[in-house]
Amino acid sequence: MPRSPKGVTIADVAARAGVSLSTVSRALNGNPTVDPALVERVRDAAAALDYTASPVARSLVLGRTQTVAVIVPDLGNPTFQAILRGLSRAAAADDYHVLVADSAESVDEERVLAGATRRRTDGVILCAPRLPQAELDSLVGGLRPVVLVNRTSGAVPAVGADYRRALGAELAHLHELGHRRIVYLAGVELSVANAARLEAIAEFVDAHPGTEVAEIPCGVDFEAGAGAAQAVLASGATAALAFNDLVAMGLLSAVQAQGRRVPDDLSIVGFDDIPFARYTTPPLTTAAVPAEELGTHAWSRMRDLLHGAEPGDPLTLQPELTVRGTTGPAPA
């Protein structure tokens, strides 16, 4: 029987209020079928006895865990940390908890985690899932309520950032500085964000004859960026676009260790504007993604779904080009 920390049970509350156990349970859990006068009587009795319902018992009564799952591809990436920060704080304000799972960039792991966490929570938020589109479309039907971050699937509520337009702005910035030989350090092949960047590159090159953007397979972390340094320097490029800030920082560190000057010899551009980006030497030019805001909006849509409301149209936020010290005129 549900018991408060002070040893008072729901039966004690029922006896003091002169009602049944089920009436106490329904009254304390906000069931609208209970007469308002009875609700007040039950609450007065609970207050007099200093009774607090067990969270576990409350979950059993409501049929809810008050928890949602969030699956991310890489918890080590500060951008996903920022999304989680915005989401978890917004959820906490609504008395919800967040269960976080890291798929480690694995499609197989992502698939397993989605089903496993949904069985233990009230809903799932998939953050930048790596699943192929057809499989994602098939999966989300069994996860409802579900919200997508940086992906779309039919009528599923979604929030995201416009990576394509933001990368176009970065390319335009480099072009204005005179750069015509550029390399792009690509991210994970299955990443939709990476595909959006490649689309932006193809569109820009088509519109700017004489500009070359070569793709170098890379990755998503600091080590990947550092490991690509030799290929970047051997390419003869005057500027490098990195998939994200972590890759850009790895490249920046490695080329400077080899005696190259940034931006005099090589301009470097990141993506995301993670907290460390402004503190590199020189500070990193990048595209600022409103990551915390993405998390807040993702929770807002999940909250609407949990309460039977319409979650609204898909939301796309615009990253902003943030010019700092790692970009300069192309060397002669």
**What's the Cα-to-Cα distance from 201 to each of 184, 205, 207, 234, rounded to whole Å?**
9, 6, 10, 21
Q: What is the DSSP string of 141-169?
A: TTT-SEEEES---TTS-EEEE-HHHHHHH
How far is Cα of residue 169 from the mean position of the Cα atoms in its chain?
Answer: 22
Rounded to two decimals, what is the model's pTM?
Answer: 0.81
**Apex CA 51: angle with CA 46 and CA 52, to 5°?**
115
What CATH number does the domain located at 10-62 have?
1.10.260.40
Q: In the structure encoding, which two tokens stand for residue 19, read together?
A: 């009602």
Give pLDDT, residue 56: 47
Q: Are 268 and 252 in contact (CB under 8 A)?
A: yes
Instruction: Determine the Cα–Cα distance for residues 124 and 87; give it in Å rounded to an integer.
Output: 12
Closest of 136, 147, 137, 117 to residue 190, by C-alpha:
136
Within the chain, which residue ranges are assigned CATH 1.10.260.40?
Answer: 10-62
- Find out if CATH 3.90.1150.10 is the number for domain 67-161+292-317: no
**What's the Cα-to-Cα distance from 292 to each of 82, 248, 252, rounded to whole Å?**
5, 21, 26
Within the chain, which residue ranges are assigned CATH 3.40.50.2300?
Answer: 67-161+292-317, 163-289
Closest of 56, 42, 35, 69 to residue 147, by C-alpha:
69
Q: pLDDT digit of tens for each residue in the chain (332 aa)?
A: 555 545 788 888 889 989 888 888 778 766 777 888 888 898 888 888 887 665 545 544 555 789 999 999 999 999 999 999 999 999 999 989 999 999 999 999 999 999 999 999 999 999 999 999 999 999 998 999 999 999 999 999 999 999 999 999 999 999 999 999 999 999 988 889 999 999 999 999 999 999 999 999 999 999 999 999 999 999 999 999 999 999 999 999 999 999 999 999 999 999 999 999 999 999 999 999 999 999 999 999 999 999 898 887 899 999 999 999 999 999 98
CATH domain 163-289 topology: Rossmann fold (3.40.50)
**What's the Cα-to-Cα distance from 32 to each of 26, 27, 94, 97, 222, rounded to whole Å?**
8, 8, 20, 25, 54
CB neighbours of residue 124 within 10 Å: 26
